[in-house]
Chain A
Amino acid sequence: MSTLSLNQRALLLSVVLLFVGLFVWEMAIPAQKAVGELTEYERLTGGGAQKAGVPPPSQVLAKAWEELSNPFYDAGPNDKGIGIQIGYSIYRVLSGYLMAALVAIPLGFLIGMSPVAYKALNPFIQVLRPISPLAWMPLALFIIQDSEASAIFVIFICSIWPMLINTAFGVAGVRKDWVNVARTHELGHFKTAFTVILPAAAPTIVTGMRISIGIAWLVIVAAEMLVGGTGIGYYVWNEWNNLDLTSVIFSILMIGIVGMMLDAAFATLQRAVAYAE
């Protein structure tokens, strides 16, 4: 064992935990009686209709294999592949998120640079920030009159705050010495903003972006359950209506995996802009 590195030992433990967990789950599901063993009377009175139970992991794995081997099929509005559903969700998250970034980062810069703007805008931000993004949904549906755009708006409104606040905080906290270096080198306002303030505040800004993408991915599932039609959130709800718990568990896992990948992308970005003082 001592020859294994820390990472190798951790990986080994992870795999062991996974198998133990799956085994316990599999064993915990009572074997359901085969339909063949029921008497005719039981079948006639409905006793044969199995009580919907939580499916064992083996079924979920089989389902995952089935879905992932053909993720992009499209057999009508209520039967699309998991790849298509996730694609819709990612499209909504990214469009709402991108719009939020386009507003939040420049505005955060302004707020961070100007103490007056900071004080003037702070009360609005503090009131708007704690509002659950889904609370905007009825208003968005009424004003925008389009469920697709409303879902994107909800993503926009939930991802704007962490980015805005972190950008303002990061920009306001740039060390005075670095700004003085820019001043003594006669850098103009734009040059200073891009060559000194942006790199200096980048770690804080990217942290805000990472928090935002996490929140956006949390919110999209709920938003899609409300607006329906397409997306991973709709898929979960639709499979619940179908009482297909295997698909529900499978899609829960998929939500986690996609969320993890989005987060990992921003972690990479975070490492790229980090610096040691």
Chain B
Amino acid sequence: MSKPFLSIENLTQCYPDGQGGTMTVFENATFGVEKGEFVCILGHSGCGKSTIMNILAGLAEPTSGVVKMDGYEVSGPSLDRGVVFQNYSLLPWLSTLKNVSFGVAARHPDWSKAKVLDHSREYLAMVGLEGDVIHRKPSQLSGGMRQRVSIARAFANHPKLLLLDEPFGALDALTRGTIQDELLKIWGGTGQTVFMITHDIDEAILLADRILLMTNGPFARVAESVEITIPRPRNRTEIVEHPNYYPIRNHMVQFLGKRSKELAGQASDGAAQSPATVRIERTPPEDESGEARRLRAVNL
């Protein structure tokens, strides 16, 4: 089996527990992400999702284990791995446009100023920010607009891997929906590899190709990898009609509600902990009329 594009191997993170011992957050986590894949990771707080994200971004060092991207080991932050932070992390003294263009300029030091600005404007327009708005400071934008700027900043740099750390966590449900759609649109156009943390099951099903489920910490592990067997393009109003939607959703609700606790707290004894693949398929077998039948089902 060839190595995936992004491969996380035996990742372990321990912290001193304040009483002289160590607290293992997760141990020997091993999984991969294919190129162009959209992967969400779901789990309760404290299971180490954000730590995994920070390690992938190069902002934190794991206690042991390696992360390889494209065959090279990840060490330190890089422009190849773009990050959208939960709290947007825009620089408040720069205008919206400058917040994007400073990243583009860092990515392409050889570009002319005009080219950098044009490129930045283009990506801001993709998330629906045009006109006077792009000259405002982040403090003059709503939360949703700020997160759009942050997404535009990350996509404008064409990173090989895009890391989203609960990007919609601080937004209200309606804004969240709009920006999810925008994210899908911009992702569809670029085919970027995306790794995203979320707390929201429906959001994960809408966006992801595959969802990694984590058990509770300490000794958390990535227990399952659930394939989302719902064809794209997806649409929030239509996916709920798909026969696979509720079985997948129920599986995850069960996992997060019950099994994440039952599976928690098991030391791995040094073995690599790969997630078990779960594939839920309730669509009728694909014969000549299968496609048509499914479309009919969606239209009902």
- Residues on A lying within 8 angstroms of B by beta carbon are 177-178, 180-181, 183-187, 195-196, 199-200, 202, 273, 275-277
| Chain B residue nearest in CB terms to A195 | B102
Q: Give the distance to chain B from A133, nearest Cβ to Cβ, in Å.
A: 34
Bound Cα distance A273, B92 (Å)? 11
Q: Give the distance to chain B from A128, nearest Cβ to Cβ, in Å.
A: 33
Is residue B87 contacting chain A, with contact meaning CB distance below 8 A?
yes
Q: A-B pairs with the 8 shortest C-beta distances?
A: A276-B139, A275-B93, A177-B89, A183-B77, A185-B106, A184-B77, A275-B92, A199-B93
Q: Which residues of A contact B79 (CB under 8 A)?
A: 184-186
| Chain B residue nearest in CB terms to A203 | B93
Q: Which residues of B contact A277 (CB under 8 A)?
A: 92, 139
Q: Which of A186, A196, A273 touches B91 (beta carbons < 8 Å)?
A: A196
| B-side interface size class | 20 to 34
Bound Cα distance A183, B102 (Å)? 13
| Chain B residue nearest in CB terms to A274 | B93
| Chain A residue nearest in CB terms to B86 | A177
Seed contacts A187-B106, A275-B92, A275-B137; 11 additional CB < 8 Å A-B pairs: A177-B89, A180-B57, A181-B85, A183-B58, A183-B59, A184-B57, A184-B58, A184-B83, A185-B79, A199-B93, A276-B137
Is residue B63 contacting chain A, with contact meaning CB distance below 8 A?
no
| Chain B residue nearest in CB terms to A191 | B106
Bound Cα distance A275, B76 (Å)? 30
- The SS class assigned to the B binding surface is loop
Given contacts A180-B59, A275-B139, A276-B137, contact A186 B92 (CB under 8 A): no
- The SS class assigned to the A binding surface is helix
| Chain A residue nearest in CB terms to B139 | A276
A177 engages B87 (CB within 8 Å): yes
Q: Give the distance to chain B from A206, nearest Cβ to Cβ, in Å.
A: 13
Q: Which of A184, A185, A276 touches B92 (beta carbons < 8 Å)?
A: A276
| Chain A residue nearest in CB terms to B103 | A185
Q: Which residues of B contact A177 (CB under 8 A)?
A: 85, 87, 89
Given contacts A199-B93, A276-B92, contact A186 B106 (CB under 8 A): yes
Mark out the residues of chain B between 71 and 94 whose CB falls within 8 Å of any chain A CB in the assembled complex: 76-79, 81-83, 85, 87, 89, 91-93
Bound Cα distance A196, B92 (Å)? 10
A186 engages B78 (CB within 8 Å): yes
A181 engages B89 (CB within 8 Å): yes
Mark out the residues of chain B between 8 and 66 whose CB falls within 8 Å of any chain A CB in the assembled complex: 57-59
Given contacts A186-B78, A275-B137, contact A180 B85 (CB under 8 A): yes
